[in-house]
Amino acid sequence: MVTISEKGQIAIPVDIRRDLNIKTGDRFLVVKRRDDGGIILLRQNIMDNIIEKIQDDDNFLNKINKGGK
């Protein structure tokens, strides 16, 4: 359980930081869930890998525009 501070900050519990190897200075992308049920935190390096795969796939935008088919 976490509490949002007046500045909108949260503290990630130590056991979760340890389990996920989260260190001071690590960067995350914050994404709102489509169902408005909360947020998702994605490590920057994971997001970088996703963007790399998109850039490497010449047909990616065509696939998206056709509904993923």
Three-class secondary structure of residue 60 per DSSP? helix
Residue 31 lies in a domain: yes
Residue 34 confidence (pLDDT): 95
Q: pTM for the whole thing? A: 0.67
Strands 39-43 and 28-32: antiparallel
Q: Confidence class of residue 62 from pLDDT cuts 50, 70 and 90?
A: confident
In a domain, 8, yes or no: no
Tens-digit pLDDT profile for residues 11-52: 999 999 999 999 999 999 999 999 999 999 999 988 888 888
Residue 9 lies in a domain: no
pLDDT(58) > 80: no
Residue 18 placed within a domain: yes
Residue whose C-alpha is closest to residue 12's, from 4, 27, 2, 20: 2
Residue 69 pLDDT exceeds 70: no
- The domain of 58 spans 14-65
For residue 57, is it within any domain?
yes
Length of the chain, please?
69
How far are the Cα atoms of 29, 39, 46, 55, 65 from residue 9, in angstroms, in the given order? 14, 13, 22, 33, 37
Is 4 within the bounds of a domain? no
What is the number of structural domains in the chain? 1
